[in-house]
Amino acid sequence: MIKAVIFDLDNTLIDFMTMKKLSCDAAISAMIGAGLNVDKKKATKELFKLYDKYGLEKKTIFQKFLKKVAKKVDYEVLASGIVAYRRVRTGFLEPYPHVVDVLFELKRRGIKLAIVSDAPRLKAWIRLVSMKINHLFDAVVTFDDTKVMKPSTMPFKFAFKKLKAKPQECLMVGDRPERDIKGAKKLGMLTCFAKYGNPKAKSKADYEINGIKELLEIVE
């Protein structure tokens, strides 16, 4: 019997990559408007190459980007990019369709809810609060709690302790088979692949869903 559902956050509850792409598009446009002399299409490719190298949460990514494409950091250009990025990011922080309804229904059924995310603590909480779903979770585990990322079993074990639940009583829902599904399976959890967040990936999860409403059929 499933007593708790543990969710990944980015691309599981929130369409993180669409938000990231729109925010970066706005940032590069603003930097060009402030005097950065680059081709926008090429600049966008360079920025995401840096994200691939340093991670999507790298705080100084725009400084690294400017050093790469302009060989220096112009702080007026940098500030223009950051302001534009934050403006779009804040406006876009919305959950996937039906996320709120599904979370409320799971709570109504007496299911405990948790987040296990590789995001830094503050960023994870900002996303949850911005989406107005922070109050629905019994536990929120972030990178800062264990200092290791999935598929390490430590973040999951941290969540079990907070939930006072056993691994076999928990269902893990995530979009990254190599992290979310692999890590959960190590501990004997049931797993559910959020295919809508990562359509091209192949998973060996116990379940696959194309929309979060399908989760209610699994958790009965």
In whole angstroms, what is the distance from residue 183 CA to residue 170 CA?
Answer: 13
18-21's contacts with Cβ under 8 Å and 24+ in sequence apart are: 18/92, 19/88, 19/89, 19/92, 19/93, 20/51, 20/56
Least confident interval from 64-73, 92-101, 161-170, 175-184 = 92-101
pLDDT in tens, 140-176: 999 999 999 999 999 999 999 999 999 999 999 999 9
Average pLDDT value for the chain: 95
Do 193 and 219 form a contact (C-beta atoms < 8 A)? no
pLDDT in tens, 175-219: 999 999 999 999 999 999 999 999 999 999 999 999 999 999 999
For residue 92, the model assigns a pLDDT of 84
Q: Which domains does the chain have, with CATH numbers?
A: 4-14+96-218 (3.40.50.1000), 17-92 (1.10.150.520)
Place 136 in a pLDDT band, splitting at 50, 70 and 90: very high
pLDDT over 90 (residue 220): no
> For helices 61-70 and 40-54, what crossing angle results, to 10°?
130
Averaged over 55-75, what is the pLDDT? 95
pLDDT over 90 (residue 93): no
